[in-house]
Amino acid sequence: MPNRVVFCRHFLSKINFDPKSIPNLKLWLRADTDVYTTSAMTTLATEDSIAIGGWKDQSGQNNHVTQSTNGNKPVLKLSVQGGKPALRFTNASAHLLASASVNTIPKVAPITIFIVSKTTTNAPASGRTIFGSAYGANKGFNFAQYQATGKVLFQKAGIGNIVSVNALLSSDKFEVITAVYDATFDVHYFINGEARDYILTATDCTAGDTSYCVGGLDTTHSQYSHDGDIAEILVYARQLDAYERSKVENLLLQKYSITKSPVLNKANYLSIPDYPGLGTVVHPDVLYFANGWNGYKYWMAYSPFPPTTNENPCITVSNDGDTWITPPGLTNPIDSYAGGGIYSSDPSLCMSPDGTTTMYIFWLEANQGIYMSSSNDGITWSAQTKIINSAATNQVMSPSVLWDGTQFRMYTSKVGGGYTLEYRTCATITGTWSAPASLAITNLGAPPYGAKHLDVILSDGVYYLIYMDVDATYNSGLYLAKGVNGIDFVIDPNFRIPAQLGVWDYLPYRASILNTGQALDIFYSGFNSGENISHIARTNYSLPT
């Protein structure tokens, strides 16, 4: 297998850049400059764990934040990230620093916010405010950690919540978190320089004077106070463009020795032959054979889509993973509306236990269930067999089947009251499958949102699960999780193939993964913003060492 490294983890040179060179900087708090022990800001803080009463704004706007009550003061911690200090806020003590009520911190769009912080929990009982408008002000915004899941919350103060369920805040490391609240009231999130999600908000914040607080809303509502460290905050009263945003992010990433997130989305997609000839394909599932199988190293199942009338399981092959053809002698599709359903989609490939004799293909027949066919050469396929019943109101979809050494496992997503992931087992491929049991994924959003369109592989004793996370607006991304028992999975915080505006993979869809040893070889599908054009791309993710 070729080593296809697609991102760089180092900086080429030291970045010398003044954030004030970008217009409309209204707040700049940095823990390594002008941190004071008193609210009068007369005595600089230099000792570790000393209480902080004042944090001076470096933007030139004099939007300083202070605290005069000793019990509510955060403490200074020296050399906590990249040799740099941070202020430590404790939820139980309602630590808080607040600005004057009259200030120039922006309260209406457009706004760009940068925060360097670390949280202490990924599942707080209540939302934890990192920075934002005072409680109940009905003016401005709050940027926080969402309760239960620990994901990003952007709230128009006193109006309502706007939640990005795909932008997960880490509980064990510092991150550079960016929120761009643009002139059309959309919120775009970036973590460590990588686009994570966006939310279409439709309305603006409310203008007017209000205090802004770091580490909470006020001392009365301590349940919403931050738990963790804050090293730096910058707020601009404008929407920074991509170049300006990356300059600030790269400065902060280098300053705090934070690794820039890999960009896994691909600008170009593969050319996959499809029998309708429209060039729209989704639902890849790929098997790799080091010595080839019936003449080819890569075998892919996929579905042409849209339109729905073309959505049927098909096969394509390759010897390098980049150039794909229909295997000579095969006429696609493998099946067409086998059980009289609406469409046949979500194909999955699996080999017999010996890994060589028989290839199986599984797919969803909409409103009917899961079907299967088999072949010993990839050209001639058996008549379809229905193996799982499924009703339209509680539909089982997106099967992913593997042999775990003793039995077959089928992983599926289920639609009904949200999207959930399940698995079944069977001793033989044509035997009776067990009743479904639920998978456990750390930090997965609760119904009516959740996960769908999954793929699971077992490699070197580790189960890898890739799935599409579904949020309130269906603007999703692809996530990766790992586990050792095939039931309990933990999300890899460094992996994302996020939804992005203005690109071919606006909506990342079902993906397939292969483990090459040092990296995951990933084939993922995606739709454009109109969801009427779909393609399949190949990307690569280096496994953490």
Radius of gyration of the chain (CA): 26
Domain boundary among 207, 237, 255: 255
pLDDT at 52 over 90: yes
Give CA–CA dist 95/72, Å, rounded: 4
User: Are 326 and 232 members of one domain?
Assistant: no
pLDDT at 140 over 90: no
User: Which of 22-36, 124-138, 283-297 has the lowest average pLDDT?
Assistant: 124-138
Residue 72 included in any domain: no
Residue 104 included in any domain: yes
Asked whether the beta carbons of 165 and 145 are under 8 A apart, the reply is no
Confidence at 241, pLDDT banded by 50, 70, 90 = confident
Q: Is the dihedral of CA 385, 391, 392, 395 positive or negative?
A: negative
Residue 78 included in any domain: no
Asked whether the beta carbons of 252 and 232 are under 8 A apart, the reply is yes
User: Are 338 and 212 members of one domain?
Assistant: no
Mean pLDDT of 330-346: 77
Residue 528 included in any domain: yes
pLDDT at 410 over 90: yes
Domain boundary among 239, 255, 271: 255
What pLDDT sits at residue 545? 59
Residue 180 included in any domain: yes
List Cα–Cα distances, 152 to 119, 120, 126, 144, in angstroms: 12, 14, 13, 6
Give CA–CA dist 270/274, Å, rounded: 12
User: Are 230 and 337 members of one domain?
Assistant: no
User: Are 322 and 424 members of one domain?
Assistant: yes
Instruction: Report angle CA 197, 244, 54 to the nearest 5 degrees.
Output: 85
Residue 271 included in any domain: no
How many CB atoms sit inside 10 A of residue 308's CB? 12
The average confidence (pLDDT) of the chain is 84
What are the tens digits of pLDDT across the range 385-405?
Answer: 999 887 655 678 899 999 999
User: Are 461 and 533 members of one domain?
Assistant: yes
How many CB atoms sit inside 10 A of residue 324's CB? 20
Confidence at 124, pLDDT banded by 50, 70, 90 = low
Confidence at 377, pLDDT banded by 50, 70, 90 = very high
Confidence at 234, pLDDT banded by 50, 70, 90 = very high
What pLDDT sits at residue 137? 66
User: Are 216 and 336 members of one domain?
Assistant: no
- The DSSP string of 301-349 is EEEE-SSGGG---EEEEESSSSS-BPPTT--S-S-SSTTS-S-EEEEEE
User: Which of 130-144, 150-164, 197-211, 310-324 has the lowest average pLDDT?
Assistant: 150-164
Q: What is the CATH number of the domain that holds 311?
A: 2.115.10.20
Any residues with CB less than 8 A from the CB of 58 and at least 6 apart, and which?
A: 20, 28, 29, 30, 33, 34
What pLDDT sits at residue 312? 92
Domain that holds residue 173: 88-255
Whole-prediction pTM value?
0.68
Give CA–CA dist 213/202, Å, rounded: 25
User: Are 376 and 514 members of one domain?
Assistant: yes
DSSP 8-state assignment for residue 365 = E
- DSSP H helical ranges for 434-527: none
What pLDDT sits at residue 197? 65
pLDDT at 8 over 70: no
User: Bridge partners of 87?
Assistant: 76, 230
Residue 71 included in any domain: no
What are the tens digits of pLDDT across the range 444-494?
Answer: 654 445 688 999 999 989 999 999 877 644 456 888 999 999 999 988 877
User: Are 354 and 243 members of one domain?
Assistant: no
pLDDT at 205 over 80: no
pLDDT at 202 over 80: no
The amino acid present at 369, given as its one-letter code, is G
User: Are 164 and 299 members of one domain?
Assistant: no
- The pLDDT > 90 percentage for the chain reads 48
Any residues with CB less than 8 A from the CB of 545 and at least 6 apart, and which?
A: none
Any residues with CB less than 8 A from the CB of 258 and at least 6 apart, and which?
A: 81, 82, 116, 173, 174, 175, 176, 192, 252
Contacts for 338-342: CB closer than 8 Å, 24+ residues apart:
338/365, 338/368, 338/371, 338/384, 339/365, 339/368, 339/369, 339/371, 339/384, 339/386, 340/368, 341/365, 341/366, 341/367, 341/368, 342/308, 342/366, 342/367
User: Are 296 and 247 members of one domain?
Assistant: no
What pLDDT sits at residue 192? 85
The amino acid present at 176, given as its one-letter code, is V
What pLDDT sits at residue 209? 81
Asked whether the beta carbons of 319 and 292 are under 8 A apart, the reply is yes
Residue 3 included in any domain: no
User: Are 251 and 285 members of one domain?
Assistant: no
Confidence at 310, pLDDT banded by 50, 70, 90 = confident
Domain boundary among 202, 237, 255: 255
What are the tens digits of pLDDT across the range 245-302?
Answer: 888 998 999 999 998 767 688 889 999 999 989 999 999 999 999 899 999 999 999 9
Confidence at 220, pLDDT banded by 50, 70, 90 = confident
User: Are 461 and 402 members of one domain?
Assistant: yes
pLDDT at 165 over 50: no
Domain count, the chain: 2
Q: What is the CATH number of the domain that holds 221?
A: 2.60.120.200
